[in-house]
């Protein structure tokens, strides 16, 4: 199976090879041809391997008779927006999001700016992995490649227009040495923010390296040293944003959703009277929303499940604790730069400090642990693991939660424990980590294939 919860990923040039990227390009162009000559918008983040894999992907599309608009280095949501705006049949992003530089990935986007349904991905995968009987036109039938990097300015203009007025704040933005390195500072300056940019000098290998939304310590220090009113950290492909308040306290995706939900509800912009979030979102968010007359609708982990529920139920706000926030009235996917703009605009309209707004949202103690999975090993709940889970749930009672699941993007088993007593939560998490690690190292889980 090639497609995970967020496209095709792997170590670049080892697992995700240019040969595979070429075949994926051919397959995507063939499936989406629709009896005509499709056009794709393609972008990438700043990874060293991005040019290698984008070149192969684009070559595959061109060889199947598709035209390609090269957007250059741009965020994933930027590709989603421009795919729609430019009237393309589909789009593609070469990025591994928040993962280290040696990884890369390929995400495919529909002409409407959404991820493709499973059945479309399955058709593309079957063609890419099967015998190559796909079209191979010649002469005028070969696709054309066009430099479309200038279209990125249209994306910035669109985002800037989503806020009603200037944002006269001092803000530090951590660009994770990724796709937002050029775009985010320019966008914030356009709406009147006094910007200090950090980690905005990508060299192909420093993307997400001890910086960005998964490593916000540097942002905390920068906010405090510059006396900023807020800080924002993105990830490598710009679909996430977490914040730091003026006191240097981290404001994660749950708190951002709580702040924005209350403001949108008060202004009559929150459709459905609810926020959609995953099972990983903190109980504190649920408690806060209930207190202001709103609901929390939970989904399995993965932004695609959040988006599916939002579209099904007609909701306008959803996302993940990681800062992947979906504002469906403005975007078809999580957009870190859009999230930052909307949060900062909410801050200005409220007249409050970010620490005050975020401080109203309680946070239950939550501990996260990761257990590495050896190559070729799948996680399953063995009898010993099931027993440990029962012990954990009994210990926490009705005032806590346990969630154990394999990661959809990395070879890890993720453990989340949440409850009122921080010492109990930490102890339960340590117990589960020890048991699961022991079972994995003992070879109990089934081997793939």
Are the C-beta atoms of residues 405 and 279 closer than 8 Å to each other?
Answer: no
Q: Are strands 366-372 and 325-327 parallel, antiparallel or unpaired?
A: unpaired
The CATH number given to whatever domain includes residue 377 is 3.30.310.50
Task: Tell me the C-alpha distance between 365 and 5, whole Å.
Answer: 27
> Does any domain span residue 390?
yes
Together in a domain, 122 and 173 = no
- The whole-number pLDDT of residue 400 equals 85
Element (H, E) at 359: helix 354-359
Provide the residue-wise pLDDT of the chain in tens; the chain has 449 residues: 788 767 899 999 999 999 999 999 999 999 999 878 999 999 999 999 999 999 999 999 999 999 999 999 999 999 999 999 999 999 999 999 999 999 999 999 999 999 898 899 999 999 999 988 898 999 999 999 999 999 999 999 999 999 998 999 999 999 999 999 999 999 999 999 999 999 999 999 999 999 999 999 999 999 999 999 999 999 999 999 999 999 999 999 999 999 999 999 999 999 999 999 998 899 899 989 999 999 999 998 888 899 999 999 999 999 999 999 999 999 999 999 999 999 999 999 999 999 999 999 999 998 999 999 888 788 888 899 999 999 999 999 877 889 998 887 788 999 999 998 999 999 999 999 999 999 987 764 443 33
Closest to 191 (Cα-Cα) out of 147, 145, 159, 236: 159
Tell which of 359, 392, 412 closes a domain.
359
The CATH number given to whatever domain includes residue 316 is 3.40.120.10
Are the C-beta atoms of residues 173 and 39 closer than 8 Å to each other?
Answer: no
Together in a domain, 322 and 354 = yes
> Does any domain span residue 426?
yes
Together in a domain, 134 and 236 = no
Task: Tell me the C-alpha distance between 209 and 101, whole Å.
Answer: 8
Tell which of 91, 115, 149 closes a domain.
149
- The whole-number pLDDT of residue 66 equals 97
Together in a domain, 355 and 371 = no
- The whole-number pLDDT of residue 448 equals 37
User: By CB neighbour count within 10 A (0-12 exposed, 13-18 middle, 19+ buried), where does 120 fall?
Assistant: middle
Using the 8-state DSSP alphabet, how is residue 205 labeled? S
Together in a domain, 173 and 43 = no
Together in a domain, 221 and 315 = yes
- The whole-number pLDDT of residue 355 equals 98
Residue tagged active-site, from 95, 97, 181, 281: 97
Together in a domain, 180 and 85 = no
- The whole-number pLDDT of residue 449 equals 32
> Does any domain span residue 3?
no
> Does any domain span residue 155?
no
> Does any domain span residue 447?
no
> Does any domain span residue 371?
yes
Alpha helices in 251-320 (DSSP H): 253-266, 283-291, 303-313
Together in a domain, 132 and 166 = no
Together in a domain, 295 and 416 = no
Q: Which domain holds residue 393?
A: 366-441
Together in a domain, 340 and 375 = no
Task: Tell me the C-alpha distance between 197 and 205, whole Å.
Answer: 19
Q: Give catalytic status of residue 55 as yes or no.
A: no
- The whole-number pLDDT of residue 442 equals 74
- First-to-last alpha carbon distance for the chain, in angstroms, is 11
User: By CB neighbour count within 10 A (0-12 exposed, 13-18 middle, 19+ buried), where does 209 fall?
Assistant: middle
> Does any domain span residue 1?
no
> Does any domain span residue 254?
yes
Tell which of 119, 149, 179 closes a domain.
149
Are the C-beta atoms of residues 407 and 301 closer than 8 Å to each other?
Answer: no
Considering only the C-alpha atoms of the chain, give the largest distance between any 2 of them, rounded to a whole number of Å: 70
pTM of the model: 0.88
- The whole-number pLDDT of residue 445 equals 43
Together in a domain, 133 and 196 = no
Together in a domain, 285 and 189 = yes
Element (H, E) at 72: strand 67-73
Number of domains present in the structure of the chain: 3
Long-range contacts of residues 52-56, Cβ cutoff 8 Å, at least 24 apart: 52/12, 52/13, 52/18, 53/12, 53/16, 53/18, 53/21, 53/94, 53/104, 53/106, 54/21, 54/94, 55/18, 56/18, 56/19, 56/21, 56/22, 56/25
């Amino acid at each position: 199976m090639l497609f995970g919860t967020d496209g095709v990923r792997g170590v670049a040039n080892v697992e995700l090879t240019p040969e595979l990227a070429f075949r994926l390009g051919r397959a995507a162009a063939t499936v989406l041809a629709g009896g005509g000559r499709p056009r794709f918008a393609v972008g990438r983040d700043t990874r060293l391997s991005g040019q290698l894999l984008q070149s192969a992907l684009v070559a595959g599309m061109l060889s199947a008779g598709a035209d390609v608009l090269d957007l250059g280095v741009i965020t994933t949501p930027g590709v989603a927006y421009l795919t729609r705006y430019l009237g393309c049949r589909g789009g593609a992003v070469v990025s591994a999001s928040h993962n280290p530089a040696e990884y890369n990935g390929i995400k495919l986007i529909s002409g409407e700016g959404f991820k493709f349904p499973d059945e479309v991905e399955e058709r593309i995968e079957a063609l890419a992995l099967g015998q190559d009987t796909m079209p191979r036109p010649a002469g005028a039938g070969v696709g054309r490649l066009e430099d479309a990097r200038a279209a990125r300015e249209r994306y910035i203009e669109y985002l800037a227009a989503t806020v009603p007025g200037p944002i006269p704040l001092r803000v530090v933005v951590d660009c994770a040495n990724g796709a937002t390195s050029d775009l985010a500072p320019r966008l914030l300056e356009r709406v009147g923010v006094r910007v200090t940019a950090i980690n905005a000098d990508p060299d192909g290998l420093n993307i997400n390296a001890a910086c960005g939304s998964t490593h916000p310590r540097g942002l905390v220090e920068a906010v405090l040293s510059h006396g900023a009113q807020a800080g924002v950290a993105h990830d490598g492909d710009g679909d996430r944003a977490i914040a730091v308040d003026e006191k240097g306290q981290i404001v994660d995706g749950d708190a951002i959703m709580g702040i924005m939900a209350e403001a949108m509800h008060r202004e009559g912009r929150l459709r459905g009277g609810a926020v959609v979030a995953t099972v990983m979102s903190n109980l504190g968010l649920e408690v806060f929303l209930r207190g202001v007359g709103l609901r929390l609708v939970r989904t399995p982990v993965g932004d695609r499940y959040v988006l599916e529920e939002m579209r099904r139920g007609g909701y306008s706000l959803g996302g993940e604790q990681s800062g992947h926030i979906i504002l469906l009235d403005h975007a078809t996917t999580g957009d870190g730069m859009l999230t930052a703009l909307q949060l900062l605009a909410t801050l200005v309209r409220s007249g409050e400090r970010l620490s005050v707004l975020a401080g109203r949202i309680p946070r239950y103690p939550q501990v996260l642990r990761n257990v590495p999975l050896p190559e070729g090993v799948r996680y399953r709940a063995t009898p010993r693991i099931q027993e440990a889970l029962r012990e954990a749930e009994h210990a926490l009672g009705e005032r806590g939660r346990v969630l154990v699941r394999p990661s959809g993007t990395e070879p890890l088993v993720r453990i989340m424990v949440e409850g009122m007593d921080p010492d109990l939560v930490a102890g339960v998490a340590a117990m589960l980590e020890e048991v699961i690690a022991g079972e994995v190292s003992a070879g109990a889980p089934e081997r793939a294939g």
